[in-house]
């Protein structure tokens, strides 16, 4: 399995990093937080001008092709700036599900608007969903960017349906979220009309694989940004006539962060590569990537606050944006303990 980036992948990484670094600024992220959690100008540029929104989606469905490694590269770059975009729910979960499990007509009708950013989709699971024909009753409390979605992909692990947000049976209520860069909404379905995807098993598998990898890669990008910003601060802040980064205890904390991040980088791209190569290790790898990378991000975000001292605790500093995103990612799509339990079951079977 080859872990080194190809020339094309390196070019995508450099392009994405420069795009988010130049455009997903702190000022713009905070403006988006005060609105609906989406930087609309950034979203339009990402989807239409840069053309990165179709990465990870097959060309025959309107995407740009390529695979999970390229998707991870984009997610890592976005995570490094805590970009306020609906990429996870709309392009990763919903679009992947439609591309893998939708009919040709469904893909043609839904994917172009999602890839162009004209439409935003929400995605959620409801284990108690009631299905009567094409009518659905149920809902979910925490749907990412649900208040901005024009359609929802709904699953109960047995089937998967497309539900329009303007259906009379759909009620969407914006929630107050800890991470305002990725707000949640409560979605309630009361005899709402659903259009079933043709192959729900394929749709569910594609959505899960892509989401675990994207969240893990986003966590990697955020953790690296925490380290980079803390190192820069350690060279600027002076105490007792010396930069604080010259003190041994401070350097040890930075070194610990770096070691954790490099391990996370290995597991994230192992998972992405395993999925692209259809390796037998793919399922194990994506659980390992999500649990390890998200936990690493949370530790690094906490260290970032502590190593910045008093300024790191203030609302004016961006450290709290990283910390809240890290905490959200840590609990999203299954906790680290849940993923580790899945790994143990795969390795040990009933003995787990």
Domain ranges in the chain?
Answer: 201-351
Q: DSSP characters for 48-105?
A: IIS--TTBTS-GGGTS-B--HHHHHHHHHHHHTTT----IIIIIIIIHHHHHHHS-HH
In a 3-state reduction of DSSP, which class is residue 208? helix
Q: What is the pLDDT of residues 297-313, one digit of tens each?
A: 999 999 898 877 777 77
Q: Name the burial class of residue 131, with classes exposed (0-12), middle (13-18) and buried (19+) by CB atoms within 10 angstroms of its CB.
A: middle
Q: What is the pLDDT of residue 163?
A: 95
Hey, what are 347's tokens? 């390795």
Indicate if the pLDDT at residue 1 is higher than 60: no
Q: What are the backbone angles phi and psi of residue 17, rounded to the nearest 5°?
A: -60, -45
Q: What average pLDDT does the structure give for the chain?
A: 89
Pick the CATH number of 201-351 from 3.40.630.10, 1.10.287.1260, 1.20.140.10, 3.90.1010.10: 1.20.140.10
pLDDT band at 246 (very low <50, low <70, confident <90, very high): low
Phi, psi of 59 (to 5 degrees): -60, -35
pLDDT at 247: 66
Angle formed by the axes of helices 336-348 and 282-308, nearest 10°: 150
Q: Give the separation between CA 223 and CA 256, rounded to whole angstroms.
A: 12
- pLDDT higher at 237 or 113: 113
Section 179-202 average pLDDT: 92
Do 123 and 208 touch, CB atoms closer than 8 A? no
- Contacts of residue 133, Cβ cutoff 8 Å, sequence gap at least 6: none
At 69 the pLDDT is: 92
Looking at residue 352, what is its pLDDT? 62
Q: Encoding tokens for residue 184?
A: 């949640």
% residues pLDDT > 70 (the chain): 97
What's the whole-number mean pLDDT along residues 143-150? 92
Tell me how far apart the alpha carbons of residues 264 and 169 are, in angstroms, rounded to a whole number: 43
Read off the DSSP letter of residue 5.
Answer: P
Inform me whether the pLDDT recorded for 314 exceeds 90. no
> Is residue 90 within 8 Å of 98, Cβ to Cβ?
no
């Amino acid at each position: 399995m080859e872990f080194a980036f190809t020339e094309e992948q390196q070019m995508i990484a450099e392009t994405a990093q420069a795009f988010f670094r130049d455009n997903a600024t702190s000022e713009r992220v905070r403006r988006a937080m005060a609105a609906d959690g989406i930087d609309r100008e950034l979203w339009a540029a990402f989807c239409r001008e840069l053309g990165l929104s179709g990465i990870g989606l097959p060309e025959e469905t309107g995407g740009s092709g390529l695979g999970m490694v390229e998707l991870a590269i984009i997610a890592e770059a976005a995570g490094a700036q805590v970009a306020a975009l609906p990429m996870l729910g709309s392009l990763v979960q919903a679009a992947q599900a439609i591309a893998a499990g939708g009919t040709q007509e469904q893909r043609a009708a839904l994917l172009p608007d999602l890839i162009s950013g004209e439409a935003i989709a929400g995605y959620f699971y409801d284990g108690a969903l009631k299905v009567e024909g094409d009518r659905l009753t149920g809902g979910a409390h925490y749907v990412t960017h649900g208040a901005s979605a024009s359609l929802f992909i709904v699953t109960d692990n047995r089937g998967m349906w497309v539900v329009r947000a303007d259906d009379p049976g759909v009620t969407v209520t914006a929630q107050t979220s800890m991470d305002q860069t990725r707000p949640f909404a409560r979605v309630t379905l009361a005899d709402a009309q659903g259009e079933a995807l043709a192959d729900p098993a394929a749709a569910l598998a594609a959505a899960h694989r892509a989401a675990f990898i994207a969240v893990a890669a986003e966590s990697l990008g955020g953790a690296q940004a925490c380290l980079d910003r803390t190192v820069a601060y350690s060279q600027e802040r002076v105490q007792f006539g010396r930069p604080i980064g010259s003190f041994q205890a401070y350097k040890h904390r930075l070194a610990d962060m770096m070691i954790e991040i490099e391990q996370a980088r290995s597991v994230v791209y192992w998972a992405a590569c395993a999925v692209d190569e259809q390796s037998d290790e793919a399922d194990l790898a994506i659980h390992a990537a999500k649990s390890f990378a998200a936990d690493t991000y949370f530790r690094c975000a906490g260290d970032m606050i502590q190593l910045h001292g008093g300024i790191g605790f203030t609302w004016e500093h961006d450290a709290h944006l990283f910390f809240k995103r890290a905490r959200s990612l840590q609990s999203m799509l299954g906790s680290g303990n849940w993923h580790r339990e899945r790994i143990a079951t795969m390795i040990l079977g009933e003995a787990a």
